Structure 1
Amino acid sequence: MPVTVTRTTITTTSSSSGLGFPTTVGSPRALAQPLGLLRLLQLISTCVAFSLVASVGAWTGAMGNWSMFTWCFCFAVTLIILIVELGGLQARFPLSWRNFPITYACYAALFCLSASIIYPTTYVQFLSHGRSRDHAIAATTFSCIACLAYATEVAWTRARPGEITGYMATVPGLLKVLETFVACVIFAFISNPYLYQHQPALEWCVAVYSICFILAAVAILLNLGDCTNMLPVPFPSFLSGLALLSVLFYATALVIWPLYQFNEKYGGQPRRSMDISCSNRHAYYVCSWDRRLAVAILTAINLLAYVADLVYSARLVFVRV
């Protein structure tokens, strides 16, 4: 890989960027590169989104707070990334720069996607016509733009076949991000213990979500900290074992959760009309039956993600730079 070093600028042609042309870091010229311009778009769109909402105070309730947190968090971390790259401070950054930007971009894309769906469906539609509603709709639009910008960065910087790159830029690495994010959404839906504490089988499902989340998070943190060599077993073997265990665990949850939540024989409610909490429709509120259904769907999604993870992990030859 040819590298040219000048006084303050490092110009390198990197196959891992997925862009196919030189990138410049440690200089204001980095902002003129496609990836720099894309990150400026991310910064501006998230800034505009939370500014529009904050100017009219349109973020009441848990769902509104989540959306506001998402835009503020993404703005702050994107700003940090731009500062690091403009100053050429990658070597001093406490986390692996081969893995951190794409990991964050993937999380940010998922965060902004969730805000772009949750905010309008649980908040905006209940606002009366006026300035607040107009600002909220505009904020949703900029949230969608931010989501597309982060997703584009992931597509640009992910690993291509035959490239030498960090694990988080590979398909299994990105799947780890998806798995932990979906698990976090599941935790949000089961935040009320009433949904599972009445049945030991449902408590097992919650244990499955927690155990698999922790294992996937450990794999991500090991890569971000460049600590994979600290494991007592080879890292690829660790990943394959983790994926296999998670597939088996999630397969049991996929059967048990719907069975005990929607089958009358096991005390479930097969129809939404049977849930009294779903009789009234209010903003910022998701009734218990909808929460149960959402968890069942998300369990199936995560199981598919873990199956794909297992397939890729079993055949992936991970080469460290």
Structure 2
Amino acid sequence: MGYFFRLLQLLSTCVALSLVASEKAWRADVSNWSMFIWCFCFVVNHFIVLVEVCELQEQFSLSWDNFLITYTCFSALACLSASIMYPIIHLQLLSYGTQQNHAIAATAFSFIASVVYAMETIWTCVNTSESCSFIGLLKKLEIIVACCILAFISNTFLYMHQQALVWCVAVYSICFILGVISLLRHRCDCDESLPSSHFVFGQTVLSVLLYTTAAVLWPLHQFNEQFGGNPQRSRDASCNAGYSVCIWDQQLAVATLTAINLLIYMVDLVISASRI
């Protein structure tokens, strides 16, 4: 099954990047992130297949199963983000006909890749001899996605003009700090008086509630004209000025990452509740 999953991953990522690279469906100013994701997954999959065919897993000091689980989780999220951001940005920039058809097909194969990566993650956890620390893995994913969000919102032009967006920034910062504390506490087990499951569950509930508000307020105030937002990329002056990643792209990236992190927190909440 592992080779079957990798074959599907290689095929879907290869087709996605090939479709975008052909028929002038690749706009270098806004396609670099998606192309990087597909190329990275394609190359790493080749490396994994080579290692497993040559049976070199034991040459690595780290746990190969844990490496696969971490990699497939990250790749599933990365391909999912590319499946969302690429069509939203590109379909309005490409002309009707072959270019748009290639973009739609590339989006479909990118989404297939994200599903296959998620399936391999679950399959590896179920079929490996080592127990998978779902909580620790999810906490790492939450922190990594939060770091990406904080990197985008370092541009204060994205949120300083509205109090609701400032609240979203506060949500991202608070949840990031709570996640780091939770991960460090899980590692050092500093306070044995409070069960870890209760602490993790309470922190996850709070993060889900906060991220839900951000998942609603951020796109509402960024892309809805009634709340002062800009629904079209072409209206953003910074996009027309030739910047590789303009303000509208950053707003979309934050909205996408917020939805992804909320999904991770919800999975984390279900697993944390089952451990109480």
Q: What TM-score results when the alignment is normalised by the length of structure 1?
A: 0.62
The alpha-carbon deviation at position 112 of structure 1 amounts to 1.6
Residue of structure 1 aligned with 2:70, choices 91, 103, 107? 103
Q: Look up the equivalent residue of 1:110 and give its one-letter code.
A: L
> Aligned match of 1:194 in 157, 163, 185?
157
Deviation, structure 1 residue 71 = 0.4
Q: Which residue of 1 aligns with 2:9?
A: 42
> In percent, how many aligned pairs have the same letter?
36
Where in structure 2 are the equivalents of 1:88-127 lying within 5 Å?
A: 88-127=55-94
Give the match for residue 36 of structure 2.
69
1:287 Cα offset (Å): 8.2
Out of 195, 199, 203, the position equivalent to 1:246 is 203
Give the match for residue 171 of structure 2.
205
* Separation in 2, partners of 1:286, 1:233: 43
Deviation at 1:145, TM superposition (A): 2.8
| 1:184-236 deviation line (CA, Å, top 9, x unaligned) | 564476453234457675553232243245457779xx9xxxxx6xx46599x
Q: TM-score, normalised by structure 2?
A: 0.70
Contact 1:90 1:97 in 2 (8 A): yes
In structure 2, the CA distance between the partners of 1:65 and 1:154, relative to structure 1 (3 Å rule), is: same
Please provide the CA RMSD for this pair.
4.4
Partner letter of residue 206 of structure 1? Y
Write the distance in 2 (CA, Å) between the matches of 1:121 and 1:128: 14
Q: Among residues 270, 274, 298, which one is paired with 2:226 in the alignment?
A: 274
The alignment partner of 1:95 has SS state of coil
Deviations 1:142-198 (A, max 9, x none): 2233223222312322237xx842424xx4355446534653564476453234457
Q: Name the structure, 1 or 2, with higher relative contact order (CA <8 Å, separation 6+).
A: 2
In terms of fraction of residues, the more helix-rich structure is 2
Cα distance 1:94–1:242, how it changes in 2: closer, same or farther (>3 A)? farther
Tell me how far apart the structure 1 counterparts of residues 101 and 145 of structure 2 sit (CA, whole Å).
30
Give the distance between the partners of 1:71 and 1:242, measured in 2 at CA.
37
Deviation at 1:108, TM superposition (A): 1.5
Cα pair distance change 1:212/1:75, threshold 3 Å? farther
Judge conservation of contact 1:189–1:295 (CA < 8 Å) in 2: no
Measured at CA, do residues 62 and 238 of structure 1 come closer, stay the same or move farther in structure 2, by a change above 3 Å? farther
Q: Is the 8 A contact 1:103 1:177 kept in 2?
A: no
Counterpart of 2:48 (choices 78, 81, 85) is 81
Contact 1:272 1:289 in 2 (8 A): no
Q: Secondary structure at the match of 1:304?
A: helix
1:172 has 2:135 as partner: yes
- Any idea what the Cα deviations from partners look like across 1:69-116, whole Å, max 9, x if unmatched? 110111122112111111111122243212111221122122222222
Give the counterpart letter for 2:11 in structure 1. Answer: I
Q: How many residues align?
A: 262
